[in-house]
């Protein structure tokens, strides 16, 4: 979903280059439908299934093809590859959509190259490409990152983001410095400072983040994240705070996340809370329930926390694969006191084969007439490749 949001922003910036209005409309429809379906997946455990599946092969080289069919929208095809060779990794993702001529046309491409310089230093370069209405590939954004780890375990990472203007020239628009260190055996601190380009040709601090992770007794972990922004008078003020407590005994996992925002008087007030529970049976079946409460829940106007959404996911193992079924519930806007009702369902089926993994994900959304209609079907085929294969070097280098 993050990739799609970035693509949408880039399309807005470069939309004037498109020569065909109908072509733009087709692409916008694809984005709208894709973001909707991705949102349903990203907020739940169904995507965790896919992520775990991918994570299990992170130390191997593989290729994957994903075909997506969206009701009343353009089909899309995504190809992904992950190639590891010695101290170098190439991670690529390319999205194509069906054009008005009936053929698949490139829509976007992401290339990430990570090189382990030595035992303490790693460099990563991410290149994001878009295509204009004439079929020309354009390098739109470059993200460069360098990370150093000290002998004591402290880590410092510097990240630079450069965007292309209409003339193809690149300017650094954002810098971020992240440091991580152990305060004590139980507490880890992570600090981040974001600098953005200003109108004077320099950089101005735009945001500071401090995160404290504390490992408590009984397999409990507490995380407190504080975001600060400039107040306009040369000082920093707290914009929001997130507090999370998670407990995990290997079979059961509970988590409570509370989000606080600062008001005009710099006082914090709770705007949302998320409570999740996960449990695993003796047969390996997993069930998770995630409830989100918000002061902005539909149908309520008393500024108190009310149930905004409930997501229930059941994951089962079966012969040669796994299956996950999920449903999303929300209260009715007109009658929230009637209780939450199912508004969407997702089914994720994974099949392990002799050569790789095949999976299918279907999404149903309730229409205005109360009927659940299928809006998206996604098929994915993942095949490992020989680890001896050498990664290809990205064709365009950014200086």
For 156-189, write each residue's pLDDT tens digit.
999 999 999 988 899 999 999 999 999 999 999 9
Distance (Å, whole) CA 393 – CA 177: 27
The mean per-residue pLDDT over the stretch 344-363 comes to: 94
The yes-or-no verdict on residue 11 having pLDDT over 70 is no
Query: How far are the Cα atoms of 21, 90, 151, 240, 249 from residue 270, in angstroms, in the given order?
Result: 45, 42, 40, 10, 29
pLDDT at res. 329 = 96
What distances in angstroms separate CA 207 from CA 199, 203, 310, 396, one per listed residue? 17, 12, 32, 32
What is the distance between the alpha carbons of residues 370 and 219, in angstroms, rounded to a whole number? 43
Which of 83, 82, 110, 84 has the alpha carbon at shortest distance from 95?
Answer: 110
pLDDT in tens, 116-153: 999 999 999 999 999 987 888 999 999 999 999 999 89
Q: Write down the pTM of the prediction.
A: 0.78
Q: Is it the case that residue 28 has pLDDT exceeding 50? A: no
Tokens of 156: 């410092």
Pick the CATH number of 2-385 from 3.40.50.800, 3.30.413.10, 3.30.70.2740, 2.40.160.10: 2.40.160.10
pLDDT band at 59 (very low <50, low <70, confident <90, very high): low
- Average per-residue pLDDT for the chain: 85
Residue with the bigger pLDDT between 6 and 263: it is 263
Q: Is the pLDDT of residue 38 over 80?
A: no
How much is the pLDDT for 137? 93
Integer Cα distance of 364 and 350 in angstroms: 18
pLDDT at 236 over 80: yes
Half-sphere exposure of 191 (CA within 13 A, CB side): 7
- What local confidence, expressed as pLDDT, does residue 283 receive? 82
The token pair that represents 6 in the structure block: 């970035």
Tell the residue number behind the tokens 């004077």, with chain if given: 200
Q: What is the mean pLDDT of residues 268-281?
A: 96
* Core vs surface per residue 355-380: b (16+ CB within 10 A) or e: ebbbbebbbbbbeeeeeeeebbbbeb
Reported confidence tier of residue 271, pLDDT bands at 50, 70, 90: very high
What pLDDT was estimated at residue 218? 78
Kindly tell me if the per-residue pLDDT of 47 is higher than 70: no
Residue 35 scores a pLDDT above 80: no
Judged against a pLDDT cut of 50, whether residue 39 lies above it is answered with no
Domain boundaries, the chain: 2-385
Residue 337: the pLDDT is 86
């Amino acid at each position: 979903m993050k990739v799609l949001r970035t693509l949408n922003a880039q399309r807005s910036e470069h939309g004037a280059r498109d020569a065909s209005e109908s072509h733009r409309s087709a692409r916008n429809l694809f984005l709208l439908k894709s973001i909707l379906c991705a949102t349903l997946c990203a907020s739940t455990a169904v995507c965790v299934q896919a992520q775990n599946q991918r994570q299990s092969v992170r130390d191997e080289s593989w290729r994957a093809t994903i075909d997506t069919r969206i009701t009343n929208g353009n089909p899309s095809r995504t190809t992904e590859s992950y190639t590891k060779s010695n101290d170098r990794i190439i991670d690529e993702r390319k999205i194509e959509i069906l054009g008005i001529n009936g053929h698949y046309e490139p829509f976007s491409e992401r290339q990430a190259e990570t090189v382990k310089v030595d035992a303490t230093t790693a460099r990563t370069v991410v290149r994001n490409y878009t295509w204009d209405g004439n079929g020309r590939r354009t390098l739109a954004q470059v993200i460069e990152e360098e990370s150093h780890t000290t002998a004591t375990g402290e880590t410092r990472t510097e990240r630079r983001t450069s965007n292309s203007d209409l003339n193809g020239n690149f300017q650094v628009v954002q810098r971020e410095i992240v440091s991580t260190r152990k305060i004590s055996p139980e507490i880890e601190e992570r600090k981040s400072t974001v600098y953005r380009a200003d109108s004077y040709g320099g950089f101005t601090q735009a945001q500071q983040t401090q995160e404290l992770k504390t490992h408590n007794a009984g397999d409990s972990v507490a995380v407190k994240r504080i975001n600060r922004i400039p107040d306009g008078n040369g000082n920093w003020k707290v914009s929001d705070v997130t507090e999370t407590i998670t407990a995990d005994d290997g079979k059961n996992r509970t988590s409570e996340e509370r989000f606080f925002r600062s008001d005009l008087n710099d006082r914090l007030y709770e705007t949302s809370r998320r409570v999740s529970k996960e449990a695993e049976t003796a047969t390996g079946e997993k069930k998770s329930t995630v409830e989100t409460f918000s002061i902005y829940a539909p149908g309520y106007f008393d500024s108190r926390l009310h149930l905004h959404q409930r997501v229930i996911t059941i994951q089962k193992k079966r012969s040669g694969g796994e299956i996950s079924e999920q449903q999303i519930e929300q209260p009715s806007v007109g009658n929230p006191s009637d209780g939450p009702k199912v508004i969407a369902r997702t089914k994720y089926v994974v099949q392990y084969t002799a050569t790789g993994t095949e999976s299918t994900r279907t999404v149903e959304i309730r229409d205005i007439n109360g009927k659940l209609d299928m809006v998206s079907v996604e098929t994915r085929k993942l095949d490992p490749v020989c680890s001896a294969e050498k990664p290809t070097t990205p064709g365009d280098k950014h200086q």
